[in-house]
Amino acid sequence: MPQFTSRPPAKPTGYGLDLIRTPANGRITLALTCENIIGCPTHWYGGRTIPCEEVECPGCAATVSWRWHGYVSGLVAPTRRQVLMEFTAQASETIADYHDSQGTLRGSFLVAQRHRNRHNGRVIVALHAAELEKLNLPAPPDVTASLAIIWNVPQTAIAVDGKTDRGPRLTVNDPEKGNNRPAAIATGPPTAAGIQNT
Ligand SMILES: [Zn+2]
């Protein structure tokens, strides 16, 4: 006998999420589903962003500089497709500050665009409160597990707020030093205090 439901089955959290970035033209509005932003040092290596794995890291082995990137989950307006979105350290600071002042990101609107709509323009983010009860938000995905899938690293290699024997850190414990490689940004990543998912 067919089992009818009025909604398609929910995807297992952490699977099937696309990772998006701020476009060169136009703006993206997200209704945030996560509680906080979380991020880690990454390398641009082999034509894509990979997490810095610190130990036996291909990026470090190739002496590629690293950048800290932050990640949030949210629904893209107006389609309500849930995605992960990547932000530069600078934009992440704005998001982290908003989290610290409001207590959570969940239920807020985030608008992201690039300065002067240039491909490499600085990412500008603005956040504002929404009427949470009208958003009907789904449960937040497991952002770090979703990133592990996108990056093709074992989820067991991921530690939040700490280090594992091998594998990426998802918070920056020593943002000034990173992994003894020069940071790719002159200003340095944001301090761990503003970012850590406590
Ligand atoms: Zn590395």
Q: Are strands 27-32 and 108-114 parallel, antiparallel or unpaired?
A: antiparallel
Work out the average pLDDT over 72-87: 91
Q: What is the pLDDT of residues 23-37, one digit of tens each?
A: 888 899 999 999 999
Work out the average pLDDT over 97-102: 93
Predicted pLDDT at 164: 39
Question: CA separation (Å) from 149 to 95, 121, 125, 142, 170?
Answer: 24, 29, 26, 11, 14
Dihedral sign, CA of 181, 73, 141, 105?
Answer: positive
Predicted pLDDT at 54: 78
- Range in 76-90, 109-123, 183-197 with the lowest mean pLDDT: 183-197
Alpha carbon of 34 to ligand 1 centroid (Å): 26
Work out the average pLDDT over 123-152: 86
Predicted pLDDT at 163: 40
Q: 134 falls in which pLDDT band (50, 70, 90)?
A: confident
What are φ and ψ of residue 116, in 5° steps? 55, 20
DSSP state of 71: E
Alpha carbon of 58 to ligand 1 centroid (Å): 6
Dihedral sign, CA of 48, 174, 172, 158?
Answer: positive
Closest by CA position to 142, among listed 10, 9, 17 = 17
More confident residue, 14 or 18: 18
List residues, by chain if needed, whose CB lies under 5 Å from ion ligand 1.
52, 57, 59-60
- Range in 5-14, 63-72, 106-115, 179-188 with the lowest mean pLDDT: 179-188
More confident residue, 64 or 157: 64
Place of tokens 């603005």: 126
Predicted pLDDT at 38: 92
- Range in 14-23, 37-46, 77-86, 148-157 with the lowest mean pLDDT: 148-157
Alpha carbon of 166 to ligand 1 centroid (Å): 11
Give the torsion through C-alpha atoms of 17, 122, 57, 152, to 10 deg.
10
Alpha carbon of 169 to ligand 1 centroid (Å): 10
What is the three-class DSSP state of 108?
strand
E runs forming strands in 48-194: 48-51, 66-76, 81-88, 108-114, 123-129
Quote the pTM value.
Answer: 0.73
Predicted pLDDT at 156: 63
Which residues lie closer than 8 Å to 59 by C-beta, 6 or more apart?
42, 43, 45, 50, 52, 53, 66
What's CA 144's distance to the chain center, in Å? 9
Alpha carbon of 63 to ligand 1 centroid (Å): 8
